[in-house]
Amino acid sequence: MLCEDFDLSAEQLSALEAHWNLLLRWNRTLNLTTIDDWQEAEVRHYAESLFLGEHLPAGHLRIADVGSGAGFPGIPVAILRSDCEVTLIESHQRKAVFLREASRPLPNVRVLARRAERVSERFDWLMSRAVSYKDLGEALGKLAPGAALLSGAEEPPGAGWISIPLPWGRNRFLRVRST
């Protein structure tokens, strides 16, 4: 199992499994993800998210996950980094309802059901997985000085980005920018 390659406790593995099981149930009516096979989900959803979480700076951080959708990368990062506060920002109301249910057992997670442009608070880090750089636009600088993004081959705009190839496939990268 790939998730076991990370330094996770039995409790953390159980929390990831609980999220997956809830996601499968809700996905039947809400279409949260096209991936319904555990092996593919473990790589594309969970391992990528955990990889991002391991590359964030140590210590307490306030993190915004923009466009959380099914909870990636936010929920796995919150499970991995219980020392951090993770805010899941999702503009689709039905997805936000799922995120509230999925994050109920996680005291370090909260959900904001609104567009990132309407969020006025500041965070230490912004992270995102399914949002294009163009759509992130002003949120990149407005919400947080640091950003960690999971993406395909598309290059991020501007200077200061470090690209780290993900170990599980071609054309997938962790893009990191810190000030």
Q: Which domains are assigned to the chain?
A: 2-177 (3.40.50.150)
More confident site: 179 or 20: 20
172 vs 156: CA distance, rounded Å:
13
Average pLDDT for residues 98-106, to the nearest whole number?
97
Residue 143 has pLDDT above 80, yes or no: yes
Q: In the block, which residue shows the tokens 């690209």?
A: 163
- pLDDT bin (cut points 50, 70, 90) of residue 74 is very high
Q: How many CB atoms neighbour CB 100 within 10 A?
A: 15
More confident position, 155 or 17: 17
Q: Give the model's pLDDT for residue 42.
A: 74
For the chain, the average pLDDT equals 88
The pLDDT confidence band at residue 2, using thresholds 50, 70 and 90, is low
CB 110 within 8 A of CB 88: yes
The pLDDT assigned to 4 comes to: 65
